[in-house]
Amino acid sequence: MAAEKGNILIIDDDQGVLYTVKMILKQQYQNVHTENNPAAAFESFLKYNYDVVLLDMNFRSGATDGKEGLELLTKMLAEKPDTHIIMHTAYGDIDLAVQAMKIGAIDFLVKPWEKEKLLSTVNNVYQLKKSRQELSQAKSREEALKRDIEKGAGELLWKDKSMQSLMQVIDKVAATSANILILGENGTGKELVARAIHRQSKRADKPFIKVDLGTISETLFESELFGHAKGAFTDAKEAKAGRFEIAEGGTLFLDEIGNLSLNMQAKILTAIQNKQINRVGSSGIINLDIRLICATNKDLYREVEDKEFRQDLLYRINTVELPVPPLRNRTRDIPFLILHFIKEFSKKYDKRGLTIDANEMDELMDYNWPGNVRELQHAAERAVILSTASKLESKDFIQKLEMNSNFIKSTNSFDVKEVEKLTIKEALIKTKGNLSHAASELGMGRTTLYRKIKKYQL
């Protein structure tokens, strides 16, 4: 029978006991560590995550009061409240057992013990620890998956040839464990690409955990991604697994990674490099086995040049780059997607029989769709909801079509740079000069917008 992956720490002043216990437990557990010095034991305890700790009650020669053991027990549980500790002593004092259990020990062994008793006690405590850990992970995973389900994941739909090369690369990389960076404008379907990779991977039966990094504040960043120990901060009433931990064995999708501050980038880099994390409030190490997929709408190479994104992090996350084309570059998909969404939302809102004729469809194909597939989806939903006739028109989808057409005509030019210049100018007017809001409206990074403002002398 293969040994369990458990980490066991044995603390006893008797070298003979340490050797015997280690030999017995090594048959069943992969990592069995021994310490005969309380200070060194505590240092090791802080450094690593042990599943079970066997702690002696006495360390001084002739001592029988259990004081040292109880003090170390208290100290350990203060640092890591979820630790599963078995106390053992040569003196079967029931009062010591009661004190230890009151402080937080899981079980109590009296020396000399039989081999079977030792194995069964450690195994029971190890299985309890494992069950509680899995329950914590499952609870956090359930919450994350519930948010995904409520949001609606959708699927990657396409017919245009411009998507064919992307799908071919997805087929090739899905079976590997390579880190992937998905690039594309807002609304192009980067998350759907990530999910397609996960579904075709060897980790398909494991969780797919998405983290929208653009919505996590810096103060909650570590807790959300790496989890926290009970009592780590004021509201930490119970231990919580972070997104890295609950994605164990599966895929972790970090969306909008270009929005991270340099400080947060450094923490992500450390976790990826070491394949290890520490929960907030705990120095115990948690090993990681995840497939990492990241996505951004930013030009990370430009961000690296501007010292706004770490070059070493970029190299870690972009083993394979997958650019997702904007909707304006896959126009053959527009009619296909519109008909798909009309059918979907007609069913959802009980408005059967809605159609759209070819001329109206042509107008929608001529529209630039700056918000890409996401904008088209929302436009289709609005058109279905507000429809009063069975035949939909282009204006039901995009009220701004006429304004968009007039704007292009007002430039008296189809020069891309001139159109871009006037578009940026309009966005700055609309947002009253707020660069962050203007950048969001334009679907570009703040740094990129600033650079273009200088370029066009706006």
Task: List, edge to edge, every strand of the sheet that includes 52-56.
Answer: 29-35, 4-11, 52-56, 85-89, 107-110
Domain annotation covers residue 183? yes
Same domain, residue pair 38 and 62? yes
Determine the average pLDDT of the residues in 286-315. Answer: 94
Bridge partners (DSSP) of residue 32 are 8
Structure tokens at 57: 């009650």
Whole-number Å distance between alpha carbons of 66 and 144: 45
Number of domains, the chain: 4
pLDDT score at 49: 85
CATH number at residue 350: 1.10.8.60
Cβ-based neighbour number of residue 165 at 10 Å: 12
Give per-residue burial for 211-240: e unless 16+ CB within 10 Å, then b: bebeebeeeebbbbbbbbbeebeeebeebb
Q: Nearest 5°: CA angle at 419, between 438 and 259?
A: 30
Residue 115 has pLDDT above 60, yes or no: yes
Cβ-Cβ contacts under 8 Å for 12 (sequence gap 6 or more):
18, 21, 34, 36, 54, 56, 88
* Contact between residue 11 and residue 54 where contact means Cβ atoms under 8 Å apart: yes
Residue 402 has pLDDT above 50, yes or no: no
Same domain, residue pair 220 and 116? no
CATH number at residue 115: 3.40.50.2300
Whole-number Å distance between alpha carbons of 242 and 278: 10
Same domain, residue pair 91 and 168? no
CATH number at residue 246: 3.40.50.300
Structural domain ending residue among the three candidates 303, 323, 343: 323
Same domain, residue pair 108 and 32? yes
Count CA atoms within 13 Å of residue 88 on its CB side: 24
Same domain, residue pair 214 and 87? no
pLDDT score at 5: 72
Bridge partners (DSSP) of residue 253 are 210, 293
Q: What is the pLDDT of residues 29-81, one digit of tens each?
A: 888 999 998 899 999 998 888 999 999 888 877 666 778 889 999 999 988 88
Structural domain ending residue among the three candidates 353, 379, 399: 399
Q: Which residue has the higher pLDDT, 134 or 225?
A: 225
Parallel, antiparallel, or unpaired for β 227-228 and 276-277?
unpaired
Structural domain ending residue among the three candidates 129, 161, 185: 129
pLDDT score at 381: 92
Same domain, residue pair 360 and 431? no
pLDDT score at 147: 55
Three-state DSSP class for 227? strand
Whole-number Å distance between alpha carbons of 423 and 427: 6
- Mean pLDDT of the residues in the chain: 85
Residue 285 has pLDDT above 50, yes or no: yes
Whole-number Å distance between alpha carbons of 40 and 33: 12
* Contact between residue 51 and residue 130 where contact means Cβ atoms under 8 Å apart: yes
Same domain, residue pair 299 and 341? no
384 pLDDT tier (thresholds 50, 70, 90): very high
Same domain, residue pair 313 and 334? no
Q: What is the pLDDT of residues 308-367, one digit of tens each?
A: 999 999 999 999 999 999 999 998 899 999 999 999 999 989 988 899 988 889 888 888
Of 140, 146, 139, 295, the residue nearest 223 (C-alpha):
140
pLDDT score at 290: 95
Same domain, residue pair 435 and 341? no
Residue 385 has pLDDT above 80, yes or no: yes
pLDDT score at 74: 92
pLDDT score at 448: 73
Domain annotation covers residue 139? no
Same domain, residue pair 211 and 283? yes
pLDDT score at 404: 47
Domain that holds residue 367: 329-399
pLDDT score at 209: 92
266 pLDDT tier (thresholds 50, 70, 90): very high
Whole-number Å distance between alpha carbons of 72 and 87: 11
Whole-number Å distance between alpha carbons of 359 and 28: 73
Whole-number Å distance between alpha carbons of 266 and 345: 43
Q: What is the pLDDT of residues 199-251, one digit of tens each?
A: 999 999 898 999 999 888 888 899 999 998 888 888 888 888 899 999 999 99
**How many residues does this entry show for the chain?**
458
